[in-house]
């Protein structure tokens, strides 16, 4: 053990790493709907499952609450978020405000390396779409979200990147909850069009395409509560 590991800061970092790892596992389970919307997430149970203290479990749940994937009620505990249709619409309204700014910012600074990174990502998305089954669908939703996070990173604005982390996490939950069966979370073709506009540093075209893309993602949702959704999803397996 070196002196840094032995310091109080080192211990705190280890706990934080553990919390982040638990957050990631829970986030996947929530977005995949292996954990039902509204399900209780007891600190003691999360702590026992991951063999960590309640403090570490609580920190993980608080991170998820910050992203909007968990709801914490005073004196009652944490629950998987169950966004209403109104909240779902607000997520996309927020994306319409933030994402045109992100692509416009990229157009002022995009490099050939960025273009190559984006093209490589499009290739990965295509590979996921060629596969079938629930695992492939999960990977595809993740890769689609990652495209938008990659854009946020390329904007060079760390605050916008953080906004997008929350918006992509919330979008994934909304898509998992309200997405029509079989529908893709993001049109791969549309991502390609956005990359083409970015490569030309055509901010106006990029803004228009990204807005149209968000419209399409939202139009793919069925924002009426559908009692048969779980069964329909189950039958797809």
Name the residues that contact Zn ion, by CB under 5 A.
Answer: 186
Q: Minimum Å distance from CB 56 to Zn ion? A: 34
Cβ proximity to Zn ion: between 77 and 193 the closer is 193
For 3-15, letters b (16+ CB in 10 Å) and e give eeeeeeeeeeeee
Cβ proximity to Zn ion: between 43 and 125 the closer is 125
Q: Minimum Å distance from CB 144 to Zn ion? A: 5
Cβ proximity to Zn ion: between 19 and 172 the closer is 172
Q: Minimum Å distance from CB 168 to Zn ion? A: 9
Radius of gyration of the chain from Cα atoms?
A: 19
- Between CA 173 and CA 39 the distance in angstroms is 14
Q: Which residue number places its CB atom closest to Zn ion?
A: 186
Cβ proximity to Zn ion: between 19 and 185 the closer is 185
Cβ proximity to Zn ion: between 52 and 164 the closer is 164
Structure tokens at 44: 């003691």
Q: Minimum Å distance from CB 95 to Zn ion? A: 10
Q: Minimum Å distance from CB 190 to Zn ion? A: 7
Q: Minimum Å distance from CB 187 to Zn ion? A: 7
Q: Minimum Å distance from CB 131 to Zn ion? A: 18
- Between CA 94 and CA 90 the distance in angstroms is 6
Cβ proximity to Zn ion: between 46 and 186 the closer is 186
- Between CA 68 and CA 27 the distance in angstroms is 10
Nearest to 170 by CA among 76, 80, 57: 80
Cβ proximity to Zn ion: between 186 and 198 the closer is 186
């Amino acid at each position: 053990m070196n002196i840094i590991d032995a310091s109080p800061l080192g211990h705190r970092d280890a706990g934080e790493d553990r919390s982040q790892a638990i957050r990631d596992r829970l986030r996947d389970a929530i977005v995949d709907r292996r954990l039902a919307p509204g399900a209780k997430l007891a600190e003691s149970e999360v702590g026992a499952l991951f063999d960590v203290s309640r403090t570490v479990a609580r920190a993980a749940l608080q991170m998820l609450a910050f992203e909007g994937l968990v709801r914490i009620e005073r004196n009652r505990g944490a629950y998987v978020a169950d966004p209403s249709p109104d909240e779902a619409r607000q997520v996309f309204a927020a994306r319409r405000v933030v994402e045109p700014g992100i692509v416009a910012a990229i157009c002022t600074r995009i490099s050939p390396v960025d273009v190559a990174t984006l093209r490589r990502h499009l290739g990965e998305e295509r590979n996921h779409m060629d596969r079938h089954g629930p695992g492939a669908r999960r990977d595809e939703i993740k890769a689609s979200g990652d495209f938008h996070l990659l854009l946020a990173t390329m904007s060079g604005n760390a605050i916008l990147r953080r906004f997008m982390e929350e918006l992509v996490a919330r979008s994934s939950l909304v898509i998992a909850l309200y997405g029509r069966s079989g529908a893709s979370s993001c049109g791969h073709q549309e991502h390609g069009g956005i990359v083409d506009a970015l490569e030309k540093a055509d901010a106006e075209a990029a803004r228009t395409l990204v807005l149209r893309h968000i419209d399409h993602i939202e139009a793919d949702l069925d924002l009426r509560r559908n009692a048969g959704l779980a069964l329909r999803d189950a039958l797809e397996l």
